[in-house]
Amino acid sequence: MIKKNQEYSLPHHNLSDKQKDKADIELKKLRFERLKNIGAEQKIYSDLISLKYNIIDYLELGLFSEKFKFSEYLKKYVSIVNISRRNLASDLGTHETKFSRIINDKENPGLGFLYRIEEHSNSILPASLLWQLVNRKMIREIENDKTEKKKQSKLVKNKLNLRIA
């Protein structure tokens, strides 16, 4: 008896080759019918879902890579949505210059910008996910910015003098 809360393996269907061919031909026909009705909106939706899970997979790795910075994903977003950078900047209520700095990785986006991307993408790309992406790069910047670290350390008084046994 099949129970709703159980999970089951999917064994081989045991159709004959002839039956399988017939089933495949039928599916192929139905599939092509379906594909005829796929519009631009569904293409954008699908590509954004793929983009989202690409971000998730990258974040899972726990590494930083130049190829997977927020600015690179923003470029992909522009391409998927098939909109000019100027128009996207306008849609996001962001000045073109600022948008250009963000997409060219000269400036990190703020939370407000990420909320707007979430809204623009119909919530497919959550701000919380994009923030993790931004943070991944910021952590790398913090670790590598010896100049700033040195500059800031000079402003510190009474540094803890810990002797660890």
Task: State the minimum distance, in angstroms, from the CB of residue 112 to another protein.
Answer: 24
Told to check if 157 binds another protein by CB under 8 A, we report no
Query: C-alpha dihedral over 5, 8, 10, 16, to 10 degrees?
Result: -90
Spatial CA neighbour of 144 closest among 37, 64, 76: 64
Told to check if 54 binds another protein by CB under 8 A, we report yes
Task: State the minimum distance, in angstroms, from the CB of residue 109 to another protein.
Answer: 23
The CA distances from residue 131 to 64, 80, 98, 110, in Å, are 14, 20, 18, 9
Told to check if 122 binds another protein by CB under 8 A, we report no
CA torsion through residues 92, 96, 99, 103, sign: positive
| Of 103 and 136, CB closest to another protein | 136
Tell which positions 56-85 bind another protein, by CB under 8 A: 56
Q: Where does this chain bind another protein (CB under 8 A)? A: 2-4, 6-15, 19-20, 22-24, 26-28, 30-32, 34-35, 38, 42-43, 45-47, 49-50, 53-54, 56
